[in-house]
Amino acid sequence: MPEKQNTADETQRNYKILIIDDDQDFAASLKLILENEDYQTVLAHSEEEALESITKNTVDLALIDIRLGQDNGIELLPKLKKIQPNILCVMITGFGSVETAVEALNSGAYDYLRKPVNPGELLATLRRGFEKIGLLKEKQVMEGTLSEIEQQIKASFNQAAIGIAHLSLKGMWLTCNNKFCQIIGYEQDELLKISMIDITPPEESQNTRNMIDELLTGNVQYFSRETQFLRKDGLPVWVNVTISPVSSPSGDPLYFILFIEDITKRREIEEMLQNLVKDLAEANQNLEDFTRTASHDLQEPLRKIISFADRLRNSIGEKLDEREKEYFHRLENSSVRMQKLIEDLLRYSRISSLAPEMGPVDLKDVVQEVLLDLEVSIERTKGIIDIKHLPKIEADKTQMRQLFQNLISNALKFHNKTEAPKIEIDSMYNDNGYWKIMIRDNGIGMKEEHIKRIFKPFERLHGSSEFPGTGMGLAICLKVVTRHHGKIVVKSSLGKGTLYIVELPEKQN
Which of these, 120, 122, 118, 50, lies nearest to 87 by C-alpha position? 50
pLDDT string in tens for the chain (509-residue length) = 344 444 445 555 678 899 998 888 888 989 998 888 888 899 998 888 989 988 988 888 999 888 877 778 888 888 998 999 888 999 888 765 567 777 778 888 888 888 888 888 888 988 888 888 888 888 878 877 777 777 776 766 777 778 888 999 988 999 888 889 889 899 988 988 888 899 999 888 888 888 888 888 877 888 888 889 999 988 999 999 999 998 888 888 899 999 999 998 888 888 898 888 888 777 767 666 766 666 666 667 777 777 777 787 777 767 777 787 777 777 777 777 676 666 666 666 666 656 677 889 999 999 998 888 888 888 888 888 899 999 999 998 888 888 898 888 888 887 777 788 898 999 999 888 899 999 998 888 777 766 677 766 555 444 444 444 455 778 888 888 888 899 988 888 787 888 889 999 999 87
| Side-chain-facing half-sphere of 168: CA atoms under 13 Å | 11
Domains of the chain: 12-140 (3.40.50.2300), 160-262 (3.30.450.20), 266-354 (1.10.287), 355-509 (3.30.565.10)
- pLDDT of 504 reads 92
Distance, CA of 182 to CA of 201 (rounded, Å): 18
- pLDDT of 363 reads 93
Determine the distance from the C-alpha atom of residue 459 to the mean position of all C-alpha atoms in its chain, rounded to a whole number.
Answer: 43
Distance, CA of 134 to CA of 131 (rounded, Å): 5
- Give me the residues paired with residue 229 across strands: 237
Amino acid at 369: E
Q: Give the predicted TM-score (pTM) of the model.
A: 0.42
Total residues belonging to the chain:
509
Amino acid at 263: I
Alpha-carbon torsion, ordered 140, 146, 147, 151, to 10 deg? 160
- pLDDT of 394 reads 92
**What letters, b where the CB count within 10 A reaches 16 and e where it falls short, cover 295-334?**
beebeeebeebbeeeeeebeeeeeeeeeeeeeebeeeeee
